[in-house]
Structure 1
C-alpha cells in the first residue's frame, strides 16, 4: 500500500466515528414521525427521547478524554464502535418508551466519546499545514452521516419503518470496529508514553522526514516538564483556553443547529408541508450541509479559523432574522413553507462552512498534549450539555412561542457569539500544536 493510500485510510477510519454521530443525530428526525404509531409519546416524552442521547453523550465525553489520555486513542475508538453497535440494536428492538430512551442513552455514550476522541485523533495525526482540512473530515463525516440518515428516513417512509431507520446505524458501527483494528495509534500519545520508534514509523505515513524530526523534538521538549493531566488542567495558563474552548462549544449549539437537524421535519410540517415533503426538504438541507463542509475543508487552512467563525456568525444570524421576519409578517402558505426550507438551508450553509468544522478543529488545537484528551472531553461535555438543553426545550419553545420567536432567540445568540469570538478567540492557523502550547505557557509565565 503506497503512502497516499495509507494516509487516506488512516483519516477515513479516523473520522468514521463522526459519520455515526451524524447518522444518529439526523435519523431521529424522521423516526419521530412514525414512532407514535407503535409507542405513544407525549410532547415531553418526545423531547426526552431526542435529548436522552445527549445525557449519555455528556457522560461519554466526560469519561473518554481521560481514558484516551491513559490507554490510547485507538483502543477507545474500538470501544466506542462497540457501544454504537449495541445502542442501535437496542433502539431497533425497543418495545416501549423506557427501552427506547435507554437505547438512546447507550448510543449517547458513543456519541460523546466520538465527539471527544475523533477531533483529537485527527489533529494529532495531521501535519501542521494540513491540520485544519484533515481535522475538518470529522465534520464532513458528521454531515454525510446526517444525509445518510435522511436518505434512509425517506426510503422507509412508505412503510413507516422507524425501526429500520434506527437499526441501520449498526452497519457503519461494524465497519468502524473492523477498521479500527488497522488504524495506527496517535504518534503524540506514543511519544508521551516513551514509544518514539513506533511514533516515527506512523508519522512517516503522513509527513516528510524533516517534519518528523522537528515535531518529535518539540514533543520531547514539552514532555520534559513533569506534570500530570490534573496539574495541567488546573494550571493558570490553561484556564483561558478552557474558557475559550467552552465558549465556542456552547455557542455552536445555542445558535440552534441541532434544533434544525433534530426537528427539521417537525418545523416543516408546522409550516404547512406534508410528511414526505418535509423529509425531502430535510434531505435537501442535509446535502447542502455536506457540500458546504467541503468548502470549509478547502478554505480553513487559508482563511483561518477565527475569520471563518465571524463570517459564519453574520450569515447565520441574518438568515434566522430574515426568516423570523417573514414568518411574523406573512400568512401560512405553501410558498412560505418552502421559503422556510430555503432560509434554513442558508443557515445550514453558513454553519457548515464555518462553525460546524471550525469548532471541532479548534478544540484539540487549544489544549496541551498532556491534557488534550481530558480538556477536549470537558469542552465537548459542555457542548453535549448545551445540545441537551436545546433539544429538550425546543419542542416546548416551539409550542409556547411559535417558530418565528424561536428563530429570533437563536439570532440573538448569534450576535453574542460574534462578540465572544471577536474578543477572546485566538487564531491557530499554520501553527504546530507544540507552538500553540509553548506560546500559552509563555504568556502565563
Structure 2
C-alpha cells in the first residue's frame, strides 16, 4: 500500500513536471481585448458617421426625403436581422468564427457604402453593414465576458463600450475635418481600416472557453483560461463549475428561455435592452445639431458642439468603466436614470420657456451625456453579457439585441414625426418619465452581478438567490 502511494506520488510529480501549468502573459490578453474592441469601434463609427456624410450624399446622389430615410434607417433594420441571426449561430459554430465573419461583412460593406454606383446599391450595402453592426453589438460583449476573470469582467466587457464611444467620436471628428471638401466617400470608407484589422486579428484569437466546454472540449477551454486568468487556482475553480453546468440537458434551443426559472431573467434582459433606448439618448446623438442651431447657436458652432458631446461621451464611458467593478452595475444604472431624467426635464422646460441661453442647453446636453455614457450606454451591455445561462446565452442575447435595435429603429422613425406634431419639449419630458420608470425597474428587478463568475450568476438565478426582495433593494 505504502509502495503504491509512493508510486502514485512519483507519477503525479513526473506528470506535473512534464506539463507545468502557468497563466499566460498579460500582453496576449491585451491583444485579445484590442482586436475585439475594434468591433465596438466600428459599431460607434458606422453609427455616427452618417450624420455628417448625409449632407453631401443627398447632394451627390439626389436623394429625396424618402430615399434619405431609407439610407439612414437601413442600418438599423439590418441590425435587427443581424441580432436575430448572429447569436444563435454563435451557439452552434462558436463566437470566434462568427466575429471573423462579421469582420468580413464590415470590410465588404464599408467599401460598398463608400463607393456605390447608385443609391439602391448603397442601401443594400447599408443593410449588410447593419447586419454586422447588430451582430457585433451583442456578440462581442458576450465573447469578452466569457474570456474575462470575474473580478475584471465589468471593466473588460465595458471596454467594448469605450471603443464604441471612441468610434463615434472619431466619426464626428472625421465629419468635421472633411466637411469643407464634402468627401463623403472617404468619411464612410475609413471604416475599412479597423474592419480589416478586426478580420485579420480574430484569426489568431482563441475561441470562448464557455463555448468550448459546452461543446465537450474542456482541455481546449482550460488552455484558453490559462491565457487570460491570473492564477491556476482561478482556472481550476472556473473549469469545475463550467463542466458541471455543461452536463445539463439544455441544447441551446428557444424552449429553455421559457422555463420557470429562466423566464424572469430573460424578461429582465429584454427590459434592460429596451430601456437603454427609451432613455432618449439617440435623440441627443442624432438631433443635437438641429436643437442647438434652432436655439440660436449657429450651424458651425452646432457642429463643433456635437464634437463636444462626443468628447463627453468618450470620457464618461471611460470613467464609468473604472467604477463598474467598484460600485457595481445597479448603483451606476440608478445614478444614470436619475441624471438623465433631470437633464431631460431641463431640456423640456428650456423649449417651453423663451429666452434661455443656448449655452445652457449645450451644458444640459453634456450633463445628459455624462449621466448616460457612464451608466446605461455602457453598463447595459455588460449586464446583458453576464446574466444569461450558458446554454442559451447566445439565443437570449440575440433576443435582447433584437428588442434593442427594434426599439432604436422605432424611435428614429417616430421622433421627427412626434417632435413635429407635439414639439421637442413634450418629447423630452416623455423620455424623462421613461427614465424615472427605468430607475424603479433597476431598483426592484435587476440582480447585482459584480464580482461573480458567470457560472455563479447562473446558479444564483437557478435557485432564485438574486430575486429575493432584500437583494433587489440593496
Q: State the TM bucket, normalised to the shorter chain.
A: over 0.9
CA distance in 2, matches of 1:46, 1:397: 18
Structure 1 residues 34-53: Cα deviation after superposition (integer angstroms, max 9, x where no partner) = 22212334445433322221
Q: Which residue of 1 aligns with 2:28?
A: 6
Structure 1 stretch displaced more, 295-304 or 390-399: 390-399
Name which of 369, 381, 385 aligns with 1:360. Answer: 381
Contact 1:29–1:265 at 8 Å: present in 2 too?
A: no
Q: List aligned pairs for 1:84-95, cutoff 5 A.
A: 84-95=106-117
Q: Secondary structure at the match of 1:94?
A: coil
* Aligned pair partner of 2:93 in 67, 71, 90: 71
- Does 1:330 find its partner at 2:354? yes
Q: Which moved more, 1:412-421 or 1:74-83?
A: 412-421
Question: Relative to 1, partners in 2 of residues 1:125 and 1:149: Cα closer, same or farther, differing over 3 Å?
Answer: same
Deviation at 1:127, TM superposition (A): 0.2
Matched, 1:398 2:419: yes
- Secondary structure of the structure 2 residue equivalent to 1:312: helix
Task: Say if 2:305 is the partner of 1:284.
Answer: no
**By how many angstroms is 1:359 displaced?**
0.5
* Alpha-carbon distance in 1 for matches of 2:127, 2:239: 40
State the partner residue of 1:192: 214
The answer for the alignment partner of 1:385 in structure 2 is 406
Q: Distance in 1 between matches of 2:326 and 2:241?
A: 24
235-244 or 143-152, which deviates more = 235-244
Residues 29 and 264 in structure 1, CA contact (< 8 A), matched pair in contact too? no
Q: Does 1:132 align with 2:145?
A: no
- Structure 1 residue 199: deviation in Å? 1.4
Q: Indicate which of 199, 203, 215 corresponds to 2:238.
A: 215
Structure with higher RCO (Cα < 8 A, 6+ apart): 1
Which SS does the other structure have where 1:38 is aligned? helix
What TM-score comes out, normalization by structure 1 length? 0.95
- Distance in 1 (CA, whole Å) between partners of 2:428 and 2:50 is 21
Aligned counterpart, 2:468: none
- 3-state SS of paired residue (2:451): coil
5+ residue gaps, structure 2, are 1-22, 466-474
Question: Corresponding residue for 1:346?
Answer: 367
Residue 95 of structure 1: how far off its partner (Å): 4.4
1-structure distance, mates of 2:420, 2:302:
18
Q: In structure 1, how many angstroms separate the alpha carbons of the residues matched to 2:351 and 2:287?
A: 17
**Aligned counterpart, 2:294:** 270
Structure 1 equivalent of residue 459 of structure 2: 438
Comparing 268-277 and 147-156, the one that deviates more: 268-277
The CA deviation at 1:400 is: 2.7
How many residues in Structure 1 have an aligned counterpart in Structure 2?
441
1:424 partnered with 2:445: yes
Using the alignment, how far apart are the partners of 1:161 and 1:5 within structure 2?
38
Q: Secondary structure at the match of 1:426?
A: coil
Give the drift of 1:442.
1.9
Aligned to 2:227: 205
CA contact (8 A) 2:107 2:191 kept: yes
**Superposed displacement of residue 99, structure 1:** 2.9
Shift of the alpha carbon at 1:167?
Answer: 1.8
CA deviations 1:195-237 (Å, max 9, x no partner) are: 2222111111221100000000000111111121124223221
Q: Distance in 2 between matches of 1:221 and 1:178?
A: 34
1:32-77 deviations in whole A, cap 9, x for unaligned?
2322212334445433322221111011001111111111111100
Q: Mark the runs of 5 or more structure 1 residues left unpaired by the alignment.
A: none
In 2, Cα distance between the equivalents of 1:310 and 1:412? Answer: 14
Aligned residue number for residue 395 of structure 2? 374
Report the alpha carbon displacement of residue 2 of structure 1 after superposing the two structures with TM: 7.0
Q: Residue by residue, what CA displacement relative to the aligned partner does 1:392-420 show, whole Å, maximum 9, x if unpaired?
A: 22222233333322211211211111121
Aligned counterpart, 2:9: none
TM-score normalised according to structure 2 size:
0.89
Deviation for aligned residue 1:86: 1.7
Distance in 1 (alpha carbons) for counterparts of 2:114 and 2:153: 37
Q: Distance in 2 between matches of 1:9 and 1:139?
A: 17
Aligned pairs for 1:41-190 (under 5 A) are 41-190=63-212
Deviation at 1:186, TM superposition (A): 0.7
